[in-house]
Structure 1
Amino acid sequence: MAPPNPGLTHLSNALATPEQLSASSSSIDGVPSDLEASIRCAGTQLTQAAGVLLHLSQDIIAQAIVIFTRFWLGADGGSLRIYSVKVNKLPSDVSAAALYLTAKLSFQPTSPRSVLNVYTLLLSQEASPLWFVNPHGAPKQPPSADSYTLTEGGYQSARLVLLRIESVILRTLSFDTHVALPHTIALTYLQTLGVTDSAVSRRTVEYLNSALFSPQLLYVTHQPNALAVAAIYLASREQGCKLVDGEWWEVFDVDREELGFLVVGMKSTEGFMRAETEKWKGPGKTIPLVVEEVDAEIERSRMMQEGE
């Protein structure tokens, strides 16, 4: 990761280098880039949903998603053919470990049992409300408790995996768990610009939250101040709020080229999510969340390309 600005360490992040973005460990191991993006996106959604069910604040959830995303970057990062979003038959792996680790370092620590109970529910094909786990959607009738309850033996096994993957994440990130978020910065910028419309503030935060799911990995390629400026730009135009004349974004150390890239990236996230839903919709089509499923999907794609 490229080091942050030494004078603004608490407001900036270590960013992914071009080498890390162009060659991940997964791609080196033969995982197609589109499949990697789908799995990473599903893991991000899983982390978000788990954080909400655990009643964690959005800033903790966002930090966990950034940690989860960083783990897969570069040749030294995690590979989807070695690690996975979940362990087969166990509700714990990189997503759960990233959320547990981030919460533990925050003012809202949560227990391994709570984390694993929530992931057991979210990864249950009968009880999960997540579209990529349960194609039928949230059940209309309460499912059997056995479908989303961990046994004591299952909990002990999953807990060991959770703690092991937590240590793997820490080693992979060289114990750098600092994540600066753009949300507070954006609200400060809005005050500086004299914007008092609550609808603009709300929409700005919504853009920042949706950018966590961006296929361009905006949170690991751009600093928080640039993300904040792009979200304000979009929100103000959408709400018809006129800002100060001139290229105001330059005051916040963002040039026109970077702003343009981020605006396009943030606007494209919704379309990407819709495309993902369509891509994996249908009988027998599920996003592979375990190593064995990833291997099977790669083999299936290879056979289709070769016409076997």
Structure 2
Amino acid sequence: MKKLTLLFVFILGICIASKSQETFPAKLNKTPVVLAYVTAGSDIMPDPNYVTHINYAFGHVSETFNSIDIDNEARLRQIAALKSTYPHLKVMLSVGGWTSGRFSEMAASVINRRSFVNDCKRVIDEFGLDGVDLDWEYPTSSVAGISSSSDDTDNFTLLMKEIRGVIGEDRLLTLASACTAQYYDFKAIDQYIDFVNIMTYDMGRPPFHNAPLHRSEFTSDLSIEESVQAHVAAGISLDKLTLGMPFYGHVIKELGDFINYKDIHTLDEKYTRKWDDEGKVPYFTDKDGYFVCSFDNAESLAYKCRYALNRGMLGVMYWEYNGDDAEGTLRKTVYNTVMKK
């Protein structure tokens, strides 16, 4: 915990020091990425008119540490089949997720790692995918209840190098990164990866914001702005970063843990909506003014999309498609803002 606190102070110092002299790069000279995580447990089919990329969640390192197990293979085939009608669409399998382990054992063994890498190629070919996304949360850390080793970061670099060598240059290789920019040697893996999806959410729970764009009185450790700067400082260029956004919010313990955007309206009868103009995010308070829910809406996501574009980032991603309402309020806002429609 002490090391994390020092890291946050260091990151904040970088941001403050650079803010006055920071200049934003020119806008990206290629089609921006609008990436949605789509889960195996949902039965909602994503609308390819509002995404450019889909990460199917999840595959997992097998119990034998040398191959991939896929949740609900039939659903993955259904989603991959969308590519025949929507040729612009890129579909990837995301391997990992919170509490998904066995990465450390796999990556530490030359034999297991080689077998896993070959299985990445098999999955891409068998399901007609465009690549794989690695969501190891996190190398060298057991915070998610998984095994870890001090060698994980170096072994992750070897893993990405070997995956790239086997799947070729024409397939996508990406990863999901913690908002702190810890755990990965970005300078070492940069040559092997296409882009990094920053998980700029879960950065605080009430009475703090889940995903504040800028620092405010309700920011816990990091803001999105500071997270992006931390990744740049760690060695990843802005045009290889997608900005993560949540289609859910966090509530006080009495109300549970999280709430999807499609259910946010259920809080309106009892609580009061407010807007943090510094953090550029909404929240709810009770009758005594106590912070009870942090969430995102169309207005806050539009701010984040414009921020990503103005910074020259590759695009945006969100977790997850099923959190949106039936009208598609959030996904349409994200896509139309990024694509300037």
Q: Would you call these one fold, judging by a TM-score over 0.5? A: no
Q: Whose relative contact order is higher, 1 or 2, with alpha carbons under 8 Å and at least 6 apart?
A: 1
Greater share of strand: 2
Greater share of helix: 1
